[in-house]
Amino acid sequence: MGRWRAFVSVSRIISASKSVNNLKFNKNPPLRSLNSPLSSEPREFSLNFRSFSALPSLSPRHAEEFDFRTHDFDENQMSEEELLEDEEAGKISVKAFFLCTSVDLKSMQAENSRYVIPPSSRSSNCIALRFSASPWQTRGAVKESMGCYRYMIVYQYGAAVLFNVEDHEVEVYLQAVRQHASGLLSEMRKDDYAIKEKPLLVEDMQGGPDYIVLKTLDTDSIRIIGSVLGQSIALDYFVSQVDGMVEEFAEINRRMAKTGTFTMDRKKLFQLVGKANSNLADVILRVGLFERSEIAWRDAKYAQILDYLREEYEVAQRFGNLDFKLKFVEHNIHFLQEVLQNRKSDLLEWCIIVLLALENIISVYEIVRESIGTSI
């Protein structure tokens, strides 16, 4: 078949070239009048030419090289895109929120008892909830896989950490927390993170930019990650509170530098003292910033995750900055207390002076009155 097609193609080309050669063109064609037709004798002939392109064609060797390079480029491009898609597809989103100053965990646990995960430690400052789909919407069973569930860890100090929850579903979960919360904040704080599970990972965990890779993802891992993210977002809130106090004392110091005095009353100063002390106590006691996790104490792989995340979020360094700012506030409070105490001492001294003066005046008056009475 291939030889027959080649023979037909060659014969067509030869016949076309002969027909072109047989055409005779008159070098001096007769002149026509303006009214005469364009052709006096109609002629019909057709040339069977093969269609062609204005673009140059590649030789077979270069064509093969071009096809190979194009194919290789497509494979490289597709491999990079597939890697990015696989990397994003395998991630489980983690969202941390700080929305209030206190949550009643007992009432929340009683209302959502069917979702509560039994605690694996004696810690009582949080509860873990697991949902097969959006809460309060479906009750069907799903395949037993961590990626098929949505998790929410709620902490008594006002933080909530959501795992594998889409953005449009977040408000449903947070509303469930607000029903048992007190001291709701006007501006909620938020932080994002991600988890990626790789069963073939050699080590138990591996760090990445804004995400962590785990060999196995279980409820204890979720508790460890949630505890660090909750502490981090709560620390942000307390740092902002202390920053406000630092700015207030800085303004007082600026006014004192201009006027040489300050107008703060004792009640306002005591309020600042109570606020500073309560912030430090909340960070240490309620948030449990320096408490060792029992889960991490039992298993070294969880301790590794805890240490990595605390280092990643710079928890110790941020608390050091918070402590330094609180010491600045404390120093200013002591200074202002001494100034107010001196003011009070000065006032008492003036009161004593006035009383002594009155006593002297009364004594003089009595002496004068007695002297006048005896002379009469």
Query: What is the C-alpha separation between 54 and 48, in angstroms, rounded?
Result: 19
Q: Chain centroid to CA 216: how far?
A: 24
Output the six-digit token pair for 30: 């007769």
CA distances from 268 to 234, 337, 338 (A): 26, 11, 15
Q: What is the pLDDT of residue 65?
A: 52
Q: What is the pLDDT of residue 261?
A: 78
CA end-to-end span of the chain, whole Å?
A: 165
Query: What is the C-alpha separation between 248 and 12, in angstroms, rounded?
Result: 98
Q: Map residue 375 onto helix, strand or coil.
A: helix
Q: What is the pLDDT of residue 79?
A: 53
Contact call for residues 105 and 156 (beta carbons, < 8 A): yes
CA distances from 324 to 242, 327, 349, 355 (A): 10, 5, 37, 47
Which are the contacts of 38, defined by CB distance < 8 A and separation ≥ 6? 32
CA distances from 32 to 41, 159, 342 (A): 13, 100, 127
Q: What is the pLDDT of residue 365?
A: 85
Which are the contacts of 30, defined by CB distance < 8 A and separation ≥ 6? none
Q: What is the pLDDT of residue 46?
A: 41
Q: What is the pLDDT of residue 349?
A: 80
Task: Scan for tokens 């932080």, then name that residue.
Answer: 191
Q: What is the pLDDT of residue 45?
A: 37
Q: What is the pLDDT of residue 152?
A: 96
Q: What is the pLDDT of residue 27?
A: 42
Q: What is the pLDDT of residue 242?
A: 92
Any idea what the Cα angle at residue 166 is, between residues 209 and 310, rounded to 5°? 35
Q: What is the DSSP string of 185-250?
A: EEEEEEEEEEEEE-TT-SSSEEEETTEEEESS--HHHHHHHHHHHHHHHHHHHHHHHHHHHHHHHH
Query: Which residues in the chain land under pLDDT 70?
Result: 1-89, 133-147, 375-376
Q: Map residue 299 onto helix, strand or coil.
A: coil
Query: What is the C-alpha separation between 214 and 191, in angstroms, rounded?
Result: 20
